[in-house]
Structure 1
Amino acid sequence: MTTTAVELLEVVWGRASIAPTSASQLRVLYILEHHDGINLRTLAEFLASTPPATSRLCDRLVAAGLVERVVCEENRREVRLHLSGRGRAFLVDLRARRERELQTVLADMPAAKRVALLEGLEAFCAAAAAQTHDDEAGSDSRTA
C-alpha cells in the first residue's frame, strides 16, 4: 500500500512539474532552505555524495539562478551556499502548485476519509520527526 501511495503521489506532484530542476537539484534546494550558508562538504555529506559531484550539481543551480555561492570572509577558501531570491520563489511556487494538485485529489474524497487521512498524516509526521531527531542526536554524540 505504501508503494502505491508513493507512486500515486509522484504522479500527482508530477502534474505540478519541478522543471527546471531535477530531483537531485530539488533536494539541494530543500537542504539549503533548512541549512542556509552550509559549505559544499557539508552539503555533500547530506547528499551522501562526493564534493566534486555536489559541486557540479551546484554549478547547474547557480547557472539557473537558484543558488548563490558566497566566499566566507573568515576563510577565503571556503564557499557558503545560499538559496537565491529566485530559488526561494521557486520553492514557494512549487509548493503552491503541488498543494493545488493535492487539493484536487482530496476534494474527490469523502469527508470522513479526509479526516482519517489527516489523523494518519499527523501521526506519520510526529513519528518521522522523532526519528529524525533521534538520528541527529545520534550523529551529534558520534561526532562529539
Structure 2
Amino acid sequence: MTSSHSHPRPDEVAHVASEAAELLEVLWGRASTAPVSASQIRVLFVLEHTDGINLRMLAEALGSTPPSTSRLCDRLQAVGFVERGPSASSRRELRLRLSRRGRSFLAGLRGRREAALRSVLEQMPVTKRTALLEGLEAFCAAASAEVHEGDEASGVRSA
C-alpha cells in the first residue's frame, strides 16, 4: 500500500498491519525472552491483566487446553514468574497470579522491545511517526474493545 491511497480498504490495511506484526516478531526476537517461550509470554500477558484467573479460564483465553496450559504454568512457576494459590470460593480451585519476579521480567522485556522499536522509529520522518501514533492509538482502542467483548462472552474478567 502506498501513501497515494486516501481511503485505504480494511483488507489493504490488514495486509500491511500483518506485515508489520511479522517484522515486529523479528525485531522483538532479538530482544531476549529467556528463560521463557513465546507461549509462556502470552500466559504472562494474560495473567498481568486478569489477576487471579483459574486454569480453565486461562486456557480459554489462550485458545488452548487445560493440560497444556497447566504445563506452561508449571514451567513459569518453576522460574518464579507465576504463583498459584487457593480460590476464596472453592478449595479445589487454584487461582493464578503473576509474581513480582514475573512483573519485573515483563517490564524488562517491554523495555528491550521498546528500544528495538525506538531504533526503527528514529529513522522515520516526524510527520509519519505522528500519523503512526494516531493510527496505533485508534487501533489499540478498537482492538481493546474487541478483546474485552470476547472476554465478557467467555466469562474472563479483567483485574
Whether TM exceeds 0.5 here: the answer is: yes
Structure 1 residue 127 displacement after superposition: 1.9
State the Cα deviation string for residues 27-58 of structure 1 (Å, max 9, x = none): 00001101111111111111122211111111
1:99 maps to which of 106, 110, 114: 114
Mapped to 2, the partners of 1:51 and 1:138 lie a distance apart of 19
Identity between Structure 1 and Structure 2 (%) = 64
Q: Which has the higher helix share?
A: 1
What secondary structure sits across from 2:95 in the alignment?
A: strand
In the alignment, structure 1 residue 52 sits paired with structure 2 residue 67: yes
Q: Normalization by structure 1: what TM-score?
A: 0.88
What secondary structure sits across from 1:118 in the alignment?
A: helix
1:13 alignment partner in structure 2:
28
Structure 1 residue 103 displacement after superposition: 0.6
4+ runs of 1 displaced by more than 6 Å?
none
1:129 alignment partner in structure 2:
144
2:58 maps to which of 43, 54, 60: 43
What secondary structure sits across from 2:53 in the alignment?
A: coil
Is residue 55–residue 94 contact of structure 2 (8 Å, CA) maintained in 1? yes
Q: Which runs of 5+ in 1 are unaligned?
A: none
Mapped to 1, the partners of 2:152 and 2:85 lie a distance apart of 29
1:64 alignment partner in structure 2:
79
Mapped to 2, the partners of 1:107 and 1:126 lie a distance apart of 24
Structure 1 residue 132 displacement after superposition: 2.6
RMSD (Å), alpha carbons: 1.7
Mapped to 2, the partners of 1:31 and 1:4 lie a distance apart of 24
Q: Normalization by structure 2: what TM-score?
A: 0.80
What secondary structure sits across from 1:59 in the alignment?
A: helix
In the alignment, structure 1 residue 113 sits paired with structure 2 residue 159: no
State the Cα deviation string for residues 73-120 of structure 1 (Å, max 9, x = none): 542211111111110100011111111111111111111111111121
